[in-house]
């Protein structure tokens, strides 16, 4: 599935053993796609000697800080931008 800039997405909350590039504190959180970064070999399989194919889309996704940290005391508009691979993202209805 491809995502577009401005689209809301949720980070999968599935468990994953071993190497992955998705921070645990983002699992289950909803953000907004800012842009597509391109297609790259999958670092989760490259870490174990695989070829990283098929390549996966990488997205820049922004999250409101207050949605990530319950006690966040900063400005209400503060955001965190993270690069996430497509297979970690889910559509938000």
Structural domain contains residue 1: no
Structural domain contains residue 41: yes
Residue 44: how many CB atoms within 10 A of its CB? 19
Q: Which domain, by its residues, includes 28?
A: 8-91
Q: pLDDT, tens digit, for every residue of 67-93? A: 999 899 999 999 999 999 999 999 998
Check: CB of residue 55 under 8 Å from CB of residue 41: yes
Model pLDDT, residue 18: 62
Structural domain contains residue 51: yes
Structural domain contains residue 54: yes
Q: Which residues pair with 56 in a beta bridge?
A: 40
What CATH number is associated with residue 80?
2.30.30.50
Number of domains in the chain: 1
| Residue 4 φ/ψ, nearest 5 degrees | -110, 155
Q: pLDDT, tens digit, for every residue of 44-66? A: 888 888 999 999 999 999 999 99
| pTM for this entry | 0.89
Q: pLDDT, tens digit, for every residue of 24-50? A: 899 999 999 999 999 999 888 888 889
Structural domain contains residue 3: no
Structural domain contains residue 23: yes
């Amino acid at each position: 599935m491809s995502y577009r800039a401005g689209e809301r997405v949720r980070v999968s909350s599935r468990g994953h053993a071993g190497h992955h590039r998705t921070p645990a504190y983002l699992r289950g959180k909803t953000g907004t796609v800012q842009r597509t970064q391109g297609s790259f070999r999958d670092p989760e399989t490259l870490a174990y000697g695989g070829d990283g194919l098929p390549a996966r889309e990488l997205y820049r996704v922004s999250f409101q800080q207050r949605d990530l940290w319950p006690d966040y005391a900063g400005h209400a508009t503060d955001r965190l931008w993270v690069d996430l691979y497509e297979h970690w993202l889910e559509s938000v209805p």
